Amino acid sequence: MTDSPSPSDPSKSPGKLASWAFRRVLLALGAVALAAGGYALFHRGAPPSPAPKADPVANTPGLPAAGPPGAPGPAQSQAQVPARAPVPPPALPPATIVPPAVEPAPPFKAEELSGFRLKPPEPQTEPDPPASERYELTLRLERGDTVEKMLADIDVPEAERRQIAQKLQGLLGKKRLAIGEAIQLSMQTLPERPDAPRVLSLSVRPQPEREYIITRQDDASYDAEEKVYKVSPRVVRIEGERKGPLMQSGAKAGVPAAAMTEFVRALAFDIDFQREIKEGQRFTVLLEQRVTSDGHVTHPGRLLAGEWRLLKRTVTVIRFRPQGGAEGFFNRQGESVVRSFLRTPMDTSRVTSRFGMREHPILGFSAMHAGVDFAAASGTPILAAGNGKVVMAGPNGGYGNYVKLQHTHDVATAYAHMSRIGPGIKPGAMVRQGQVIGFVGSTGLSTGPHLHYEFLRGGKHVNPLTQKFAMRAMVAGKDAGRFQALARQYVNQMKHAPMAADLKPKPKPTTSAQIVKRDE
């Protein structure tokens, strides 16, 4: 068997010898560290040793003092004294570590601080005063008000309001502001007098083309200025839909009342309102407005043209003035829409009783109904069907309030059951076509508000709805060319002119706007 070198033989394995020596060193260091740690823990946790007690026997009077250990005592010969256990040595006090003394740093010298400056303390500042507030205000002049009284109600100082009132009166002269006139104010509150606001400017615009402005100056005085705006025409269109009575439909669409009245009367010559006008039908009117340079309307609009789209046709009316003639409305072919008589004497919703035999709703027997009944709301205006003379006006038995007009030697019309007769309508008075002669009511033998309308030829009653009326005039000669060019222009504008609702002036932006309603 071959001998193998012993692991403890370092001479034969230098690498293993180094590893063996290194392990031994580590073990030795570990043992030393454990011994030192245990010693330190033992001495740190051990309580201090009590002082050795005096021997009571040695200190007893009358007894001989004890000799040194090992020396025989006086009674040693008589009895053997048992030996006491040895007293352990006193524990060493814990070591106290004293840090080395540190010398204080020398103080800084003045020359070493040259070039450095200490930051001065920030001065204590008072809080900023509250900023002044600006706002806009709108007041409306009420009965018994003056501008000075109105400013006093909002606590404007007396000196300021008196100066403003004097400046404004200087601009107005003898004119007076109307009740309900809007006064626009630009105000400012000051921190030092929050209950006495300052008026920066005051403006009032009694007419769209004229504005009066009072402005505060830097020296606390007020300057007065009158601003006049340039007025020019503007063509706009309005589109609407029939919903209820024609006048109400126009008002809902935004058509001025005067323009809608002209439109309805122009249509009345060519449209049977009872049979052709239906709910939901569309109409367009073309208006000429008067507007200022900043967009305020001075006149709501004069009717230039209009069209009503019926189920099977469209009726168009064009305003035109022939040379040497009166201004009027014509159809698309240049024929005057004005006939000798209106088809119906008012804007009404429906026919409730036609011409002919019928059973009387009150008397209860069959009789000749010598006219046509139009249902309408009480108070609806009734128009003269044509030019004529009033031959009767007043109560007339079962007819109630009654008006009869004589138009020619053989044509007359009559109107019954009125709530009241129109102003100036009395026997002998002359009336013009379309003039208001009374208002719908239910006087006499009537079951509800309506107009009973009669048409007489040669003293005999005929059906008003079947009468044919001749036209009065037609554009001819040089007027025909001018009319056709104007008609093409208006028809195009009724399709492409700007909508009136899109051109309303936008309100000025303000930080605060309000309408102040003050008690009387």
The pLDDT of residue 81 is: 47
pLDDT class for 56, splitting at 50, 70, 90? very low
- Structurally, at CATH architecture level, domain 133-228 sits in Roll (3.10)
pTM of the entire predicted model: 0.54
Q: How far apart are the first and last CA of the chain?
A: 139
pLDDT class for 327, splitting at 50, 70, 90? confident
DSSP 136-175: EEEEE--TT--HHHHHHHTT--HHHHHHHHHHHHHHHTT-
- Structurally, at CATH architecture level, domain 230-338+471-504 sits in Roll (3.10)
The pLDDT of residue 207 is: 86
Q: Which of 430, 327, 420, 331 is nearest to 384 (CA)?
A: 430
Count of CB atoms situated within 10 Å of the CB of 505:
12
Residue 504 is which amino acid?
A: K
- Structurally, at CATH architecture level, domain 350-466 sits in Distorted Sandwich (2.70)
Let me know: does 67 contact 73? Beta carbons within 8 Å. Answer: yes
Work out the mean pLDDT of the chain and round it to a whole number.
79
The whole-angstrom separation of Cα 405 and Cα 426 is: 10
Torsion over CA: 33, 39, 44, 45 (sign): positive
Question: Would you say residue 126 has pLDDT above 50?
Answer: yes
The whole-angstrom separation of Cα 282 and Cα 484 is: 24
Let me know: does 472 contact 339? Beta carbons within 8 Å. Answer: yes
DSSP structural state of residue 339? B
DSSP structural state of residue 74? T
Question: Would you say residue 33 has pLDDT above 50?
Answer: yes
Question: Would you say residue 28 has pLDDT above 60?
Answer: yes
The whole-angstrom separation of Cα 278 and Cα 82 is: 148
Q: Which of 68, 39, 205 is nearest to 138 (CA)?
A: 205
Q: Which of 287, 360, 351 is nearest to 319 (CA)?
A: 287
Q: What tokens does 154 get?
A: 């909002």
Question: How do residues 59-87 score in pLDDT, each as one tens digit?
Answer: 444 444 444 444 444 444 444 445 555 56
Above pLDDT 70, what percent of the chain? Answer: 70
Question: How do residues 418-451 score in pLDDT, each as one tens digit?
Answer: 999 999 999 999 998 888 999 999 999 888 898 9
The whole-angstrom separation of Cα 441 and Cα 460 is: 25
Mean pLDDT of the 152-166 span: 91
Question: Which regions of the chain carry the CATH code 2.70.70.10?
Answer: 350-466
389 to each of 230, 400, 425, how far by Cα in Å? 46, 20, 10
DSSP structural state of residue 191? T
Partners of residue 452 on adjacent β-strands: 373, 416
Let me know: does 160 contact 198? Beta carbons within 8 Å. Answer: yes
- Select the more confidently predicted residue: 166 or 113: 166
The pLDDT of residue 509 is: 45
